[in-house]
Amino acid sequence: MPVQWRRAGPDLLVGLDPDAGALGVQIQDQVRAAIRRGRLRADERLPSTRRFAAALGVSRGTVVAAYEQLLAEGYLQSAAGSGTRVAAGLEEPAARPAEPSVSAPPTVADFEYGIPDLSSVPLADWRRALIEATRRLRTAELGDGDPAGSMHLREVVSAYHRRVRAGCAVATETVIVAGFREGLSFALAALRRHGIADVAVEDPGPHEQDVLVRRAGLRPLPVAVDDGGIDVASLGRSGARAVLLTPAHQCPTGVVLSPARRRRLIAWASRVDGVILEDDYDAEFRYDRRPVGSLQGLAPGRVIALGSVSKTLAPAIRIGWVLAPKRFAAVIADEKRLCSRGAPGIDQEALALLIETGRYDRHLRRMRDVYRLRRDVLVAEAEHAFGRGSIQGSAAGCHVLLRLPEGVSERTVVADAAGRGVRVHGLERYRFPRGDADVAAARVPSLVLGFGNVDAERIRQGIRVLADAARRAAASDH
């Protein structure tokens, strides 16, 4: 049977479809839509339920129920003696905005920092682990659970960190979160609750970490990074009692914190009763030796170590961890309880199983070979195009620093490359914002090249585009 259109009032045409479910609901939906679209205006009187029902050929009870629903929702109002009217003050819904039209050049290479090889994500293993997790979880484990995360995963992660990262964390001082940034937000909030006001950050350092520090109500203090990592003497002079750093493979310069600096850093922390936030973000991938152990293993009472699977498995699997001294772990778990509940319980169990069955390690071994090959290609191509010594920070991780010829503008090269389908950022993006153009101009221009998600052929093409761009920039500047 086709839709029956009937006029229920001067401005209200209602179409009822006997095959589209309850008539009362159809009436409600159409009156609601008429109000939203302005066909029924504020204060306009609706027909009586008797007339409405007669016009549509439905029972009066159906119309009464529809009116009642719309009265309860606030679309209609009724007053003794004046019948049922459209409520006043309802706004127009926002129009659906047009889709933006994008006309970017085809991508040759995307050297964006921090993306792992997405074509190698071990989806079959993860699927198997999810299936097993949904079978193994007990009913009670489907609730909110411990704010610090599932004890199973906390045990597995802390044991993994002890085994692979030479840490000495225990499960009860491990908090599972939904990734590095969430963990950092909670750790910063915990510092604040412990009376810490300033947090030293590496300069250059991870993009936007000053924003995150400020958002937690803390003051970021930039401390210079050189070829040995963060300058611990400057850190001491900063007056901060907390520092956020990337010791295993500095972001973005790629340097590894030197042994002497590691010791001095721990000594600094003891002296000022301080805290070290260790962003242990791509420590698993070291190419020239066994990865340097986590600072957490050296000074468990002073270090809050943060890790995640975003760069080892995939950003689309959101699990991270915070290994913290007891006085911080409880506060971090409490922040998490208040603001989120962290990673899904099912995913937590799946990750615990993935690590326990050895599949996580196997994946990391495989990826180390994949990334080593990409690194080798990148270093060879870049040194061919830009000269020996132009690449820094290739001992570990999935990004390197490329020094451009002196006097060439980072911005010019970045913009030129973007126009030719190569996405890359200059080192300037990672520097602490100061608005000091003279200092910036005096620096060695450099590009940060993330290669985790760029295959060898795209690396070759991308470097060629960058070399051309640098040549053009040099020619135009001189």
Q: Which amino acid is at 371?
A: Y
Q: Is residue 57 a contact residue for its own copies (CB under 8 A)?
A: no
166 touches its own copies (CB under 8 A): yes
What residues between 101 and 130 interact with its own copies by CB under 8 A?
115, 118-119, 121, 123-124, 126-127, 130
Binding-site member from 3, 224, 233, 339 for its own copies (CB under 8 A) = 339
Whose Cβ is closer to its own copies: residue 446's or residue 453's?
Answer: 453
Among 145, 228, 405, 421, binds its own copies (CB under 8 A): 145
**C-beta neighbour count of 351 within 10 angstroms:** 26
148 in contact with its own copies (CB under 8 A) = no
Of 4 and 107, which CB lies nearer to its own copies in the complex structure? 107
Identify whether the C-beta of residue 189 lies closer than 8 Å to the C-beta of residue 338. no
Is the CB of residue 112 less than 8 Å from the CB of residue 311? no
- Selected range binding its own copies among 182-190, 218-226, 373-381, 408-416, rule: CB under 8 A: 182-190
Nearer to its own copies by C-beta: 69 or 357? 69
115: Cβ–Cβ under 8 A, 6 or more apart, which residues?
315, 450, 452, 453
Task: Work out whether 7 is an interface residue with its own copies (CB under 8 A).
Answer: no
Q: CB 228 → its own copies: shortest distance, Å?
A: 12
Name the minimum Å distance from CB 173 to its own copies: 7
Chosen residue from 34, 314, 413, 463 binding its own copies by CB under 8 A: 314
Considering only 347, 381, 410, 416, the residue that binds its own copies (CB under 8 A) is: 347
Tell me, by CB under 8 A, how many residues bind its own copies: 98
Least distance in angstroms from the C-beta of 278 to its own copies: 12
User: Under the criterion CB under 8 A, does residue 143 sit at the interface with its own copies?
Assistant: yes
Count of residues making up the chain? 478
Check: CB of residue 58 under 8 Å from CB of residue 16: yes
Q: Are 130 and 345 in contact (CB under 8 A)?
A: no
Residues of span 66-95 touching its own copies by CB under 8 A: 68-69, 71-75, 77, 87-94
3-class SS letters over 208-219: CHHHHHHHCCCE
Phi/psi at 18 (5° precision): -60, -20
State which of residues 3, 197, 224, 267 lies at the interface with its own copies (CB under 8 A): 267
Residues 6+ apart with CB under 8 A from 36: 90, 92, 93
How many H-runs (helices) and E-runs (strands) does the chain carry?
16, 18
Structure tokens at 420: 């030719």
Member of 52, 173, 236, 332 binding its own copies (CB under 8 A): 173
Tokens of 77: 């109002």
User: Hey, what are 39's tokens?
Assistant: 């066909």
Q: Which of residues 274-303 bind its own copies (CB under 8 A)?
A: 289-290, 292-293, 295, 297-302
CA distances from 371 to 82, 220, 284 (A): 76, 33, 11
* Amino acid identity at 208: E
Judged by CB, which is closer to its own copies: 336, or 431?
A: 336
Q: Is 139 in the site for its own copies (CB under 8 A)?
A: yes
Q: φ, ψ for residue 271 (rounded to 5)?
A: -65, -40
Residue from 1, 2, 10, 96 touching its own copies (CB under 8 A): that is 96
Q: In one letter, which amino acid is 423? A: R
Site string for its own copies, 448-467 (x = CB under 8 A): -----x--------------
Q: Looking at beta carbons only, is 350 or 408 nearer to its own copies?
A: 350
Residue 170 CA to residue 325 CA, distance in Å, equals 10
Contacts of 46 (CB under 8 A, 6+ apart): 9, 12, 31, 40, 52, 67, 76, 83, 84, 85, 86
Sign of CA dihedral 99, 104, 108, 114: negative
> Applying CB under 8 A, which part among 260-268, 363-371, 405-413, 470-478 lies near its own copies?
260-268
Based on the shown chain and the rule CB under 8 A, indicate whether residue 31 belongs to the binding site for its own copies.
Answer: no
Show contacts with its own copies in window 364-423 (CB under 8 A): none
